[in-house]
Amino acid sequence: MKQAIRKTTLLRCAIAALLSVAFICCSSQKPEKVAEDFLNAYFEANYEGAAKFCTPELGNDLLKALEQTQALDEPIRANIQKYTKFYKPQVIKTQQPSKKDSVIVNYIVTNTTADSLAPGRQIKESRVHIVKTEDGWKVCALK
In a domain, residue 25? The reply is: no
In a domain, 45, yes or no: yes
Specify if 16 maps to a domain.
Answer: no
Amino acid 36: pLDDT: 96
> Beta strands 102-111 and 136-142: pairing type?
unpaired
Among the ranges given (23-27, 90-94, 114-118, 124-128), the one the predictor scored with the smallest mean pLDDT: 23-27
Domain CATH number, residue 49: 3.10.450.50
Containing structural domain, residue 119 = 30-142
Decide if 6 is inside a domain: no
The amino acid at residue 141 is A
1: Cα separation from own chain's centroid: 52
Across the chain, mean pLDDT equals: 79
Q: What is the pLDDT of residues 34-69, one digit of tens each?
A: 999 999 999 888 889 999 999 999 999 999 988 988
Question: 34 lies in a domain?
Answer: yes
- The 8-class DSSP code of residue 86 comes to T
Confirm whether 18 is domain-assigned. Answer: no
In this predicted structure, what is the pLDDT of residue 2?
60
Residue 86 lies in a domain: yes
Residue 10 lies in a domain: no
Q: The pTM is what? A: 0.71
Report the domain count for the chain. 1
pLDDT at position 105: 95
